Amino acid sequence: MIVDLFVPCFIDQLYPSTAWNTIKLLESAGCEVHYNPNQTCCGQPLFNGGDVKYSGKLAEKFVSDFPHDRPIVTPSASCAAYIKNHYSQLVGTKDAQRLKENIFELSDFLVNQLSKTDFGAVFPHKITYHDACSALREYGLKDEPRQLLKNVSDIELIEMPKRDECCGFGGTFMIKYAPISTAMTEQKVENALSTGAEYIVSSEASCLMNIQSYINEQNVAIKTMHIADILAVNL
């Protein structure tokens, strides 16, 4: 199966190894991965900030960057959900429908499209999983990451209290309402620490960036990790 890879901004700029691990996972699952180096942001930050004009221009560019009628896989449910749910406001009906049908978050694609849940990963650590807001509520991602993690050898997944509550990122929310955002991140980290986990794992690099910045500032004994980086650890 030929698939296109979409690498979101946060991953491109801050976590490029996660993009490479996404390629490893897809190739291990039997996919031929195509990457268009001209791709840029999908426009989600601008759209969420109310800038419909320029988010529309980026949406139009996305359409031209991904012209094929085949799966587009991304290690970010928030970007995938934005494209699925909001491109109908920004581009033509035909293109919006094509992208809605073709865009997939990585773990959803692996589990539900490829029926591939075991990559031979070994990760001898305790982890807890963070359900990102847009992943859970806009994309509908919940069980798939957990199915993949359960097939990782020597891992211990411990669910945190209030696992589906926001980490405080929310895009520009963390900038506009910094004190509230920090309090929410603190609560998220405290809930994770209560499990005894060594790592907070998620499908969303933006959430992990926000959580890790709090961890670094407070010198807390826990780390963050994208699910793709765990699944590809032995590839």
Low-confidence stretches of the chain (pLDDT beneath 50)? none
Q: pLDDT averaged over the chain? A: 95
Local structure of residue 203 (DSSP, 8 states): S
- The parent domain of residue 105 ranges over 2-113
CB 123 within 8 A of CB 155: yes
188 within domain boundaries: yes
Which CATH number covers residue 160?
Answer: 3.40.50
Which pLDDT value is given to residue 151?
98
Residue 121 is assigned to a structural domain of this protein: no
Same domain, 131 and 218: yes
- Interatomic CA distance for residues 33 and 70, integer angstroms: 11
**Could you give the CA distance from residue 116 to residue 129 in angstroms, rounded to a whole number?**
20
Domain stops at, among 82, 113, 144: 113
At which of 78, 113, 148 does a domain end? 113
* Residue 200 bridge partners (DSSP): 128, 224
Q: Are residues 19 and 94 in the same domain?
A: yes
Distance, C-alpha 163 to centroid of its chain: 16
Last-in-domain residue among 113, 136, 163: 113
Residue 10: predicted pLDDT: 87
pLDDT tens-place string over residues 157-174: 999 999 888 988 877 777
- 3-state percent breakdown (helix, strand, coil) of the chain, nearest 5: 50, 10, 35
Domain match, 7 and 31 both: yes
Q: Give me the number of domains the chain comprises.
A: 2
Instruction: Give the model's pLDDT for residue 108.
Output: 98
In a domain, 20, yes or no: yes
**Residue 20: CB partners within 8 Å, gap ≥ 6?**
none
